[in-house]
Chains A and B, each alone.
Chain A
Amino acid sequence: MATLNSQIPAGPLSDKWEKHKFSSKLINPANKRKYKVIVVGAGLAGASASATLAELGYEVHNFVFHDSPRRAHSVAAQGGINAAKNYQNDGDSVHRLFYDTIKGGDYRAREANVHRLAEVSVNIIDQCAAQGVPFAREYGGLLDNRSFGGAQVSRTFYARGQTGQQLLLGAYSALNKMIGAGGVKSYTHSEMLDLVVVDGHAKGIIVRNLQTGEITRHSADAVVLATGGYGNVYNLSTYARGSNVTASWRAYKRGACFGNPCYTQIHPTCIPVSGDYQSKLTLMSESLRNDGRIWVPKRKEDCKKNPADIAEGDRDYYLERMYSAFGNLAPRDVASRAAKYVCDEGRGIGDTGLGVYLDFGDSIRRLGEGKVRERYGNLFSMYHEITNEDAYKTPMRIYPAVHYTMGGLWVDYNLMSNIPGLFVLGEANFSDHGANRLGASALMQGLSDGYFVLPSTITTYLANVKAGGRPATDRGEFKQAEEEVRNFTRRVTSNNGKRTPDSFHKQLGKIMWDYCGMARTETGLQKAIQLIGDLREEFRTNVKVLGEPDGLNQPLEKAGRVADFIELGELMCRDALMREESCGGHFREEYQYTPNDPEVQQGVVNTGDVKRRDDQFAFVAAWEYAGAPDKAPILNKEPLIYEEVKMSTRSYK
């Protein structure tokens, strides 16, 4: 069994972070430069961490598989970033952001981490504004805000529909400054293919240069993974095609525990699937729900009608009906599940019947088309490009799609995994969003971890590491890890198989979506585990990778990533099967509110809402690799202890 110590500081919740910073050891400036830190990834978390660690004086080596550190998928976040600035004077505070996030996560996140996130949120906005991030502004020159799902205050800062790109360009500019100054050495086209563990500590990585095929060893005093989420296990998702779990998965196979892998976020407002050739689902920002109203026809017979011909009285604005307090701004898991229900009832719209309307008619009448264009113009044109429909004239068609993974490598309060020296930031870790993430909180967490948390907490580890003592790369552990990487490459390129990695990915995605998607059951998950086991075996014998391992070989890259996704998919199903409750994005059909429950009769929740079982499942599931893909992994539990907030039934009515 792994040893899990969350390292949460003692004392009142609101003092923990300040006290922890003071009690953490410092490293003197002359010694910092003797420590080398590897950072993998340059999205919001990786770029901000690399830049800040280098500013502090550490020798930083940053690795990305992209051709430039500016392309990580943080770039695609549209809507915004939360911060408890209370610039709108509408009652926001650090405590309220903390509370909303804990509640939004359905009481499955760590209180201390979330409180720290809310505290740091205000510094992030200051930092980004100072870097020149062109946030939206009011005519007086001050920052503008908008509201987002799961909150009743306006605390979201944004930059048109491309907040992610602008924040990433800010972090990338900070990184560039340090690359230019020699503080960071940047490796592009460099994919991490293994973690090297020496005497129980993370001391290096094995990297393949995607342009030349060269495989190299890199040693360091600490390794930081900021490699994003694993939603592409579903194949179809809003993730970039290149997003993958490989770095995290190889760390898992070296002993890092994987926390809550089944917690995935299905985003309610994406463009519906149109055909089996599809490679990607496109998100329409949640901010659209500020001014768009979601509905389906009340009667099945109306579903194929032109929406303009369906009278107001024949429309079911189901979110407004079911969740009157939050309405169209219900949290993502709630809104997605509601869409699934109405489609399951046969009231879905579009060719496939898997879609609902997001209608701007009212807003255009109230605000005028110009105002709507100013707020969402780029999203409307993106929608037009993909569907060839004009959303100013006819409602958008939307359906839920995989968008984010709350699970990830287990970390303690210092963001260190159970392998000493291995830190995990941003979406790659499990820590802050519980079982459901609120909109505009991913950017906040990535930057919080990278700019403010890790640079402070990394000393809790490095201060106990001898400066300049990192191992040489000719040690056996490095050689062995490199050999394993080469073996995989040899095996898949010399295999006499018949199927491309892509075809396996599609098949895996379908299994995951059908059995481990928006609704999960015991029998379904058991079936999925078996199907995935078979798929893993077929992949081993029947995958085909053409071309040479030296030089650019995209199918080879894909093969490694798909192999890892297959193993991860199985773990996700095991986690979902073990968690015999529903919470946030994890919905087990066996555990939902029924008309007989008192909470339904009292009007606190709706029939079909998720039913948690706090007495048995108020813990983090941290899975430990058992040494082989076909051996059942070991479950470790970290109990979730709530000191400040009372775990209660989540209500948005």
Chain B
Amino acid sequence: MKVSLKVWRQKNANAAGEFKTYASPELNPNMSFLEMLDVVNEELSNRGEDPIAFDHDCREGICGTCSLVIDGKPHGPHKGVATCQTYMRSFSNGDQIVIEPWRAKAFPIVKDLVCDRKSFDRIQQAGGFISVRTGSAPDANSIPVPKENADLAMDAAQCIGCGACVAACKNASAMLFVSAKVSHLGLMPQGQPERYKRVKAMVDQMDTEGFGACTVTGSCEAVCPKEISLDFIARMNRDYAVALIQGDPKQVVGGGAG
């Protein structure tokens, strides 16, 4: 099979970008989408043209590095998979495929199809953790976790941090991502002491980064490669509301005796 690619090319963050069209060489339907790009790039290089820059790493749907909007859909035509797990058999001979980067203010474009997602890291640095010093943990089985909670926490924890939810959202909202992180920790008994402080810090950082507001259209859930549920957004909103009502904890000043 052969396809034609309409690809976003942009030299760097400050340059203006444009679509360019390339004809693919002969392809095998069992190729992954990224392998198709490898083959196209090899041909471009051999012709002396700058190959298309795209992000990828594990190529098995878990590292969250790959990030293409394919025919208008983040991670391509299939539900519950990432771009790297999309195969050419999903397309037909002669198709034109449009490939774009994630587009969001908080994900500036670096080059071609590569964008910068450090804003996600900064949200997690603001509070996406349980404070436990190495070596201070009690025996693992001293904290039983009801299986239902552990399973639900795991549903949320599956998030691979790819940013497809942001790319799909008309407001470039990061609510699905942040709510998955907040819910994972908030559902575990270990996460209770910092539960409200955490949600507030993470949501505040999310807003600072320039992600948009959520209007619950559900486009994020539809494209999420791990099929993270919209329910987690409701869960986060509830925790956030409680955190606002509680207000910031009273600062304790002064040390102890001695």
List the interface of chain A (C-beta within 8 A of B): 48, 51-52, 55, 66-71, 73, 75-76, 85, 87, 123, 125-132, 134-143, 159-160, 162, 164-166, 169, 172-174, 176-177, 179-180, 186, 188, 211, 238, 240-242, 274-275, 277-280, 282-283, 381-382, 385-386, 388, 451-452, 455, 500, 502-503, 544, 546-547, 551-552, 554-555
Contact = CB atoms under 8 A, between A and B. Distances in A.
Contact of B161 (A68, A123, A140, A211): A68
Interface residues of B, number: 78
17 contacts: A87-B141, A128-B140, A130-B137, A135-B140, A137-B145, A141-B145, A165-B160, A173-B129, A211-B110, A238-B60, A241-B59, A275-B28, A282-B59, A385-B87, A452-B135, A552-B110, A554-B53
B238 to A, nearest CB: 19
B128 to A, nearest CB: 6
B35 A279 contact: yes
Contact of B147 (A141, A180, A546): A141
B190 A126 contact: no
B173 interface: no
A169 B58 CA distance: 16
Given A143-B141, A500-B46, 8 more contacts: A71-B58, A75-B58, A132-B188, A159-B154, A159-B157, A164-B62, A546-B48, A554-B53
Contacts of B188: 132, 134
Nearest to A447: B134
Interface in B108-149: 110-111, 114, 116-118, 120-121, 124-141, 143-147
A131 B130 contact: yes
Contacts of A142: 141, 144
A382 B85 contact: yes
Contact of B59 (A141, A166, A280): A280
A130 B46 contact: no
A242 B49 CA distance: 22
B128 A138 contact: no
B12 interface: yes
At the interface, is chain B mostly helix, strand, loop or mixed?
loop
B89 A279 contact: no
Contact of B134 (A137, A452, A551): A452
Contacts of A242: 57
A126 B139 CA distance: 5
B89 A275 contact: no
Nearest to A506: B42
B150 A131 contact: no
A451 B137 CA distance: 12
A162 to B, nearest CB: 6
Interface in B36-93: 38-39, 42, 45-46, 48-51, 53, 55-65, 78, 80-81, 85, 87, 89
Contacts of B46: 500
Nearest to A141: B144
Contacts of A274: 28, 30
Nearest to B78: A385
Contacts of B49: 546
Given A211-B110, A275-B31, A277-B35, A547 B50 contact: yes
B134 A174 contact: yes
Contact of A126 (B124, B137, B153): B137
Given A180-B125, A503-B42, A76 B134 contact: no
A278 B30 CA distance: 9
A130 B145 contact: no
B9 interface: no
Contacts of B154: 134, 136, 159-160, 166
Contacts of A76: 58, 60, 62-63
A147 to B, nearest CB: 19
A188 B118 CA distance: 9
Interface centre among B11, B28, B53, B59 (most CB of A within 10 A): B59
B124 A173 contact: yes
B191 interface: yes
Given A71-B63, A130-B190, A547-B50, A277 B147 contact: no
Interface centre among A52, A162, A275 (most CB of B within 10 A): A162
B58 to A, nearest CB: 4
Given A70-B121, A177-B131, A241 B56 contact: yes
Contacts of A71: 57-58, 63-65
B60 A55 contact: no
B143 A278 contact: no
A382 B62 CA distance: 11
Given A385-B81, A554-B53, A75 B62 contact: yes
Counting from the closest, the 5 A-B pairs by CB-CB distance are A141-B144, A130-B137, A173-B129, A129-B140, A126-B137
Contacts of A140: 144
B121 A173 contact: no
B124 A176 contact: yes
Interface centre among B87, B116, B124 (most CB of A within 10 A): B124
Interface centre among A68, A128, A179, A381 (most CB of B within 10 A): A68
A155 to B, nearest CB: 13
B38 to A, nearest CB: 6
B126 A141 contact: no
B49 to A, nearest CB: 8
Contacts of B190: 129-132
A452 B137 CA distance: 13
Interface in B1-53: 11-12, 28, 30-32, 34-35, 38-39, 42, 45-46, 48-51, 53
Contacts of A127: 132, 134-135, 137
A190 to B, nearest CB: 12
B88 to A, nearest CB: 10
B56 A551 contact: no
Given A66-B57, A162-B62, A503-B42, A134 B143 contact: no
B150 A136 contact: yes
Contact of B129 (A131, A385, A544): A131
B158 interface: yes
B81 A55 contact: no
A169 B118 CA distance: 16
B184 interface: yes
Contacts of A52: 134
Interface centre among A130, A173, A283, A386 (most CB of B within 10 A): A130
A162 B62 CA distance: 8
B85 to A, nearest CB: 5
B184 to A, nearest CB: 7
